[in-house]
Structure 1
Amino acid sequence: MSDRERDEHSGTETTGHEWDGIKELDNPLPRWWLWIFYGSIVVAIVYWVLMPAWPGLNGYTPGVLKQSDRADLVRDLAALQAQRGQGETLLMSASLDQIEANPDLQAHALAVGQSVFGDNCATCHGAGGGGAKGYPNLRDDVWLWGGSLAEIEHTIRVGVRAAHPETRTSQMPAFGRDGMLDAGQVSDLTEYVVALSGREADVAAVGRARQLYADNCAACHTPTGVGDRTLGAPNLTDREWLYGSDRDSIRTQIHNGRNGVMPTWEGRFSPAVIKALAVYVHVNAGGGEASSVAGETATP
């Protein structure tokens, strides 16, 4: 007969443990729980026999089934590489225009381009290519360096102000920071740019800045302000502004001369992937070739 204490309320034996007047009852585990526990042990033993499980000095036990996740991964990667290789061959053998004209080839290029864009370009240009302040919108028809397929591919390949020897490059001077213009002249020039975009501006300031613009800005942005995509000079007459269209943003740009950088992707991506990315960007922008220099406006 058990000599262990029984709880006076439930009649169940205790384990002998007590804490702050609370005694631990020696209740048996539920039968269903025990069967699951024993079943888990059986499954574990079967797994040890069938699958790689036990580490050793020279590797591990391979198991009866000889299963290897590493071998599966190598095989899957080889199959994926073979599939991609076929796609790259097709892309490399076709021109950019031929890729867009062939529905099957275009679909393949778009699939590749979307994946590459999401992993490498969306951080700056946004998941949908809509851009942000300081990062160009790739979904409109305004292009700083041109929006044709060939021009987009070239920009992706060489970058902007990047390390590539053929990189696209331009420089907006820091007129205020470097002392080329004083604060009053920067403010007058701000009003002149506002007027170029068709908005109301200080007439007196615009008059004072006319010669300033001709001497310092017209060489790149042209006398009428429509820009020059061969130089990467933005159009100042439209409503598209990379760094903002309010007076403070324009004044800051004239004063500091911000110049963004886009990396060169040549050497990181294969030529076929660059083609696919160019097609993806071009198609998602509507396939147009309008640029930031289209149209003219009267000089203020």
Structure 2
Amino acid sequence: MAKKPGDDTQRIDQPTGTAFVGHEWDGIEELNTPLPRWWLWTFYLTIIWALAYVIMYPAWPLVDSATKGMLGWTSRGQLAAEMQAADVKRAPLVNALAAIPVEQLVADQKLYQGAVAGGAAAFKVHCVQCHGSGAIGSKGYPNLNDDDWLWGGDIAAIHYTLTHGIRNPDHPETRVSAMPAFDGVLTPSEIASVVGHVQSLSGKAKPNAKGAELFATNCASCHGADGKGLREFGAPNLADGIWLYGGDKATLTETVKYSRQGVMPRWNDKLDAATIKMLAAYVYSLGGGEATPAAAAPAAAPATMEAKAANGQP
């Protein structure tokens, strides 16, 4: 029976010895059961911990910052300390890479292996977006595992490409190749003949005299009379069956008609010199690396290509 109004006698539940709170819902009454002491102490400790945290660590947001906390700790400060420790750890490798010419890096196997490991990590951050996690590339982005190179596959040539990029308009030392668009220069039937000849170079079509003549007049100055390309111009080998955009008739027609002007960013304004050398070592190690020529002059390619473009040559 519930307590009547004005009745100050506290009723006790006989089985448990606990007082009733005086509430009743459809004949169900509530007992005033106290919380377990361990729970209460835990609750009080969490309050104390929260107050201590607010005092010791950054907590309350302000207009453009937050309360500093007595310890002066921040997650950004912790990250900076960890990055500084990492820089100290890698300093011997970085200093050694800075001191050695990239052409001599492969000869120093211990340093080269360290550079490859560092380059693999940097590749995952900066290069996989275009070349893929396995560096196999995709349409318009070259496969770095094979031995098909536009500008050269020795470590010095790779390093130059990484440093200065390809077709970066804000950088005079970037690599430049300028294949013209033949739409309006050649008729549709002439373009079809050239495409047929290009496909014949890799055995995908039968040779045709008209296409060969047009190729010799318009394309051989960069791609070579045999179509095997000239690296000083960044002109690809058309006879090996490896294609950057595709070797089917429709894709080749589009390429000849409208040209291709892909851009690779230069990294000398984003990464330090040691990281670029690491990336060069990693790409070189993927399987298509070539021996460095005795007298390599990688800076000559862009100027030569620009000169040809200025003269109206393809």
TM-score (norm 2): 0.75
Question: What is the 5 A alignment of 1:104-183?
Answer: 104-162=110-168, 163-176=170-183, 179-183=184-188
Q: Aligned match of 2:102 in 91, 96, 100?
A: 96
Supply the AA of the counterpart residue of 2:181.
Answer: A
1 CA distance for matches of 2:160 and 2:273? 11
Instruction: Return the offset for 1:211.
Output: 1.2
2 CA distance for matches of 1:265 and 1:2? 85
Q: 1:181 to 1:107 in 2, by over 3 A?
A: same
Supply the AA of the counterpart residue of 2:284.
Answer: H
2 CA distance for matches of 1:7 and 1:106? 81
Q: 1:170 to 1:52 in 2, by over 3 A?
A: closer
Q: Give the number of aligned pairs.
A: 270
2 CA distance for matches of 1:123 and 1:277? 15
Question: Counterpart in 1 of 2:73?
Answer: 68
Where 2:260 maps in the other structure, the secondary structure is coil
Q: Aligned match of 1:7 in 11, 16, 25?
A: 25
Supply the AA of the counterpart residue of 1:192.
Answer: H
Unpaired runs of at least 5, structure 1: 14-25, 291-300
Where 1:6 maps in the other structure, the secondary structure is strand
Question: Counterpart in 1 of 2:247?
Answer: 245
Supply the AA of the counterpart residue of 1:273.
Answer: T
Supply the AA of the counterpart residue of 2:25.
Answer: D
Q: 1:45 to 1:181 in 2, by over 3 A?
A: same
Q: What RMSD in Å do the two structures reach over aligned CA positions?
A: 3.0
Q: Contact (CA 8 Å) 1:221, 1:227: kept in 2 or not?
A: yes
Deviates more, 1:262-271 or 1:281-290: 281-290
Instruction: Return the offset for 1:101.
Output: 3.3
Question: Counterpart in 2 of 1:226?
Answer: 228
Supply the AA of the counterpart residue of 2:180.
Answer: P
Identity %: 38
2 CA distance for matches of 1:27 and 1:185? 97
Residue-by-residue CA offset, 1:40-89 (whole Å, 9 max, x unaligned): 223323434654556899974644xx351354444333333333443221
Q: 1:129 to 1:30 in 2, by over 3 A?
A: farther
1 CA distance for matches of 2:55 and 2:82? 26
Instruction: Return the offset for 1:259.
Output: 1.7
Instruction: Return the offset for 1:110.
Output: 1.9
Instruction: Return the offset for 1:175.
Output: 0.5
Q: Contact (CA 8 Å) 2:155, 2:290: kept in 1 or not?
A: no
TM-score (norm 1): 0.78
Supply the AA of the counterpart residue of 2:194.
Answer: L
Supply the AA of the counterpart residue of 1:284.
Answer: L
